[in-house]
Amino acid sequence: MTALRSRSQRYYSVTEVEERHTVVTDVEEDAIDEAAASALPPITNALVLQENLPPAVLAKLRKELAFLEGYVWFSEQNVNRAAKCCIAAVSHSQSFASPGKPKEYKFFIDQIVNVHRRDIDMYHLDRAVKAVEINGTGIAAKKYEDIPQSIRRAHEDYRLVKHEFTWTAPVPDRVIDAVADFAIQTPPDEFWIAEYVRTRVSYDPIIYAKFGDWHVEVARWD
């Protein structure tokens, strides 16, 4: 097993994952049933799923797990859950007499995809939360759909318009400093600008930093 990767490497990284050319024998298939019947040892010292599966299970699921090649999991709980789903999928596939894959096989493969998606989201949320703490903004990270899509000022409604990170009008010095400090200390995937607009009138904009599907307010004009 390889040593645990650092937190900074827990998204898709360029890693050398050893290719295993395994021929599944009857003996190994029996071993899969035994493995499924016993508790799966928790993965604690390496968060790469393929490196911690029984060889026979990996051989059966190599194609299905190709999208995870080189992915370093953020959560030990998630990678252990994915490993159990792998063994369960193969166990049901072998015990099914008819040709083709049983519905249970697809169920467990789908859950691996879902757990992986949650793991990525946890990783990005962790980055966003740390950015809030380090920069002292005091405003919790949000998903885009949780950012107010409209605001009301002086009895008028303004709707949110999302802009790329460009602004031709003068930018307040304190906003420049805040964004520069944020970029140096906790670089996001990208910055973007939220402007609230009513016809040709606009309300002072807000700069957001994006971490995956999470958004952190960096600075605002008003």
Tens digit of each residue's pLDDT (9 = 90 or more) over 161-215: 999 999 888 999 999 999 999 999 999 999 999 999 987 777 789 999 999 999 9
70 within 8 A of 12, measured Cβ to Cβ: yes
**Span of 92-96, 123-127, 172-176 with lowest mean pLDDT:** 92-96
Are 194 and 205 within 8 A, CB to CB? yes
Mean pLDDT (whole number) for 32-61: 75
Over 90: is that where the pLDDT of 6 sits?
no
Residue 221: what pLDDT?
86
Mean pLDDT, residues 77-85 taken together? 96
Q: Which residues contact 55 (CB under 8 A, 6 or more apart)?
A: 20, 22, 28
Q: What is the pLDDT of residue 168?
A: 84
| C-alpha–C-alpha distance, residues 156 and 150, integer Å | 10
Parallel/antiparallel/unpaired status of strands 142-143 and 156-163: unpaired
| SS3 letters across the chain | CCCCCCHHHCCCCCCCCCCCCCCCCHHHHHHHHHHHHCCCCCCCCCCCHHHHCCHHHHHHHCCCCHHHCCCCCCCHHHHHHHHHHHHHHHHHHHHCCCCCCCHHHHHHHHHHHHHHHHHHHHHHHHHHHHHHHHHCCCCCCEEHHHCCCEEEECCEEEEEEEECCCCCCCCCHHHHHHHHHHHHHCCCCEEEEEEEEECCEEEEEEEEEEECCEEEEEEECC
Residue 103 has pLDDT above 70, yes or no: yes
156: alpha, beta or left? (left if phi > 0; alpha if psi -120 to 50) = beta
